[in-house]
Amino acid sequence: MAILETVKDYRDLKGFSREEISALAGELRGLITSVVMKNGGHLASSLGAVEIVLSLLRSFDPAEDRILFDVGHQAYAYKLLTGRLDRFHTLRQWGGISGFPRRRESPFDHFDAGHSSTSLSAALGYAKARDVLGRKHHVVAVIGDASLLNGLAFEALNYTKESGTKVIYVLNDNTMSISPRVGGMATHLARLSSSSAYNWLKKAIKDSCATLPRGQALENVLGKMKDHIKTIVKPVNIFDEMDINYWGPFDGHNTEELENAFELAKKYDRPVLLHVVTVKGKGFVQAERNPTAFHGVSPARPKEPGENGGKSWSEAAADIVLGMAEKDSRIVCLTAAMKCGSRLDEFASRFPDRFFDVGIAEGHMVTMAAGLAAGGLRPVVFVYSTFLQRAMDQVVHDVCMQNLPVIFAVDRAGLVGEDGETHQGLLDIPWSRPVPNLVMTAPRDEESLRNLFLFSGKQKGPVIIRFPRGAAVPCLKKQYSIYSMITSPDTDMLKPEILETGSEWALIGYGKTVELMLRARETARSAGISPLPTVVDLRCLKPLPEKELRELLASHSFAVVAEDGYTTGGAGEAIAALAGGTWEENAAAVSVMGVPDIFVPQGTILEQEEYCGLTPGKVVNRFVEFQKRAHRQAARI
């Protein structure tokens, strides 16, 4: 760390020799690797972008210029060199620095970025704001090749000419998203990055003409020659066709070449795209060999409850759908660049004609699923809750309005841990509950997950099955030794299930919060609280099972609903409203617990649950406080 420790300010980089810059790149990679392997984070992408960051900070001044990173997977070296070296060991930890750019974290982070493909649009906004305010600084957007495939990025490219402003796009091309990129644009970029004939010929002509006398006639001839050469030798270029000057490809690990390109771009008065080719995972052999495995690294910490052994929820869901596909040839799977994260590798291998990885394009994926369903198939859309936000219009208009049988396997629902604010799966419930025709369910364990998928496969309309991050409990009943349940002979999976009988107060959970409620009952038992509560698995969040809930609320004086999401707009809010509107005079008072009206920061899931009050002790305290209020009211009477 000899050189890095001497960097008191990013401006110091301009005085370093090429040898020192090269050595510094190695030190940055070493520190990034050591911290990420401990704390978790996005390793391979940041390792591949080290020289880009160094060259940007030697060519631009982020105190004046605006440097925007798409997603933020590439920005760890940038954080280290812009005043966060002493805090980098807190990366992705509770109270530490974020794994993504954050405006409130540093004046050098100019735009928050956790989802892909926003940088070009934001850069155009920054550039136009500069023009309107009469300023002269530069605006640079660094975007990965896979992020460029998203529709939002294409919309920004399409508007770049119309904007009439100068902006610099840096395309970091490592041929990857999390997995290898897909689609026609990927092929186009590959063709551009492998074409050296034009660049070689251009240099040869320039060198040959260097000694010729200059004149307007010669300039005109050379200009026409250049146009003809480009037409003959250079591949068709979508960026040039959109009137965005394309320069490249450049070696993304050659700082001298990058800085020369950046200096020219600064002097250029029109929009320009610099195509930079890098190696994902550069400098870390394991990451270079397997960049997919080292895209996101899990933290080296003790496992949280529920993480030990067994299948993850993602693995369990993928295995169940694979089994369904073996029996039903209509079952197809879709994912938006998350084949590995959603554990769909085996499905893709077994049924390549029935598996569709559309790249980072959630909106397209959902509408394509609607078309597949309308065409007679049974599509299953695997998507993280946070990324489903990007396709809600398509869910509403293209799937639900037509009442098409699409199953949404919504992964990482609820609190997700160290990825923090941008990745929490907290909005799928309040956004989905008002949508007509849509059924929303939440399994409590692997057994109920299987039952819900089988149930959903028989429905005539859309169903959401939401499940959390982490390990799936095989069977919650067996884990908690629940053998005597009040169950109905009705096998309708949309009805609530009473797991433990009690009196006076009821604990209502769904999905992950069912186990929270069972643990709260054990906490009440240990504390000697009597009577013990009834524990209910709601199972279906939409349509709400009103008849069964009215009966439950009428037979108890108090109920706690634990949300695996925001309390505003959630199932608990609807149950509380149901209690207030019931015909029963003595319907239960309802207390709702869940995530308050905040963006939950990064940390472990346990820390986030504690922060939001989602603990067994806090659940029991709600009943204790209710009893105290009831006693005070009785004393007044």
* Cis status of the peptide bond prior to 249, with omega within 30 of 0: yes
Q: Is 554 exposed, middle or buried (0-12, 13-18, 19+ CB in 10 A)?
A: middle
Instruction: Tell me which of 29, 79, 280, 512 is the catalytic residue.
Output: 280
Spatial distance between the Cα atoms of 386 and 427, rounded to a whole number of angstroms: 8
Spatial distance between the Cα atoms of 364 and 337, rounded to a whole number of angstroms: 12
Using CA of residue 574, residue 576, residue 577, residue 578, what is the dihedral sign? Answer: positive
Spatial distance between the Cα atoms of 239 and 219, rounded to a whole number of angstroms: 25
Angle, nearest 10°, between helix axes 18-39 and 50-59? 130
Q: Which of 510, 535, 518, 500 is nearest to 443 (CA)?
A: 510
Spatial distance between the Cα atoms of 16 and 289, rounded to a whole number of angstroms: 31
Residues 6 or more apart from 97 whose CB is under 8 A from it?
79, 84, 87, 88, 90, 91, 105
Instruction: Tell me which of 390, 412, 477, 512 is the catalytic residue.
Output: 390
Please report which helix (H) or strand (E) contains residue 333, including its range.
Answer: strand 331-335
Spatial distance between the Cα atoms of 58 and 15, rounded to a whole number of angstroms: 9
Q: Which of 365, 378, 366, 361 is nearest to 324 (CA)?
A: 378
Task: Indicate if 38 belongs to the active site.
Answer: no
| Buried b / exposed e along 310-332 (16+ C-beta atoms within 10 A) | ebbbbbbbbbbbbebbeeeebbb
Spatial distance between the Cα atoms of 567 and 575, rounded to a whole number of angstroms: 11
Query: Quick check: 64 and 324 in contact, CB under 8 A?
Result: no
Task: Indicate if 390 belongs to the active site.
Answer: yes
Taking the chain, what is the end-to-end CA distance rounded to the nearest angstrom? Answer: 73
Query: Quick check: 514 and 539 in contact, CB under 8 A?
Result: no
Query: Quick check: 405 and 460 in contact, CB under 8 A?
Result: yes
Joined tokens for residue 348: 């893709």
Q: Which of 472, 454, 471 is nearest to 463 (CA)?
A: 454
SS3 category, 100: coil
Q: In Å, what is the CA distance from 493 to each residue of 331, 448, 488, 546?
A: 21, 9, 11, 14
66-69/497-500 β-pairing: unpaired
Q: Where are the beta strands (DSSP E) in 116-262?
A: 139-144, 168-173, 245-251
Task: Indicate if 362 belongs to the active site.
Answer: yes
Instruction: Tell me which of 51, 362, 446, 497 is the catalytic residue.
Output: 362
Tokens 């993304």 found at: 252
By annotation, the residues acting in catalysis are: 280, 362, 390
